Amino acid sequence: MINTKRQAIYTAFIIVGAALIIYDLTGESENVYFKIGGLVILMIGLYNSTKQWASDNNKDNDQDESEDGQ
C-alpha cells in the first residue's frame, strides 16, 4: 500500500535540499552551511523515498522470482 502522505513529505525534502544547493551554487557568496544542510536534507529525502519504493514493490519481486523458478 502506497503511503502518499509520507511520499509527499520525502519529495518536499528532496525539493528543499536541491533548492538549497542550487541557491548556494548560483549565489555570489559561498556559505558552507547551505551546502551541508541542502545535501543532508536531500540525502534524507532520497534515502527514505527509496526505502518506501522498495517496500511498495516487494510483492512484484516475489512474483517475478516464483515465475522464474517454474
Look at residue 46 in the predicted model and tell me its pLDDT: 93
Task: Give the chain's domain count.
Answer: 1
Query: CA-CA distance, 10 to 52, in Å (whole number)?
Result: 9
Q: Using one digit for the tens of pLDDT, what is the confidence trace for 22-32?
A: 988 888 777 88
pTM: 0.72
Q: Is residue 46 part of a domain?
A: yes
Give domain status of residue 2, yes or no: yes
Domain-located, residue 68: no
H-run or E-run covering 31: none
* Tens-place pLDDT, residues 16-53: 999 988 988 888 777 888 889 999 999 999 999 988 88
Task: Identify the domain containing residue 18 by its residue range.
Answer: 1-50
Q: Is residue 4 part of a domain?
A: yes
33 within a domain of the structure (yes/no): yes
What pLDDT score was predicted for residue 66?
61
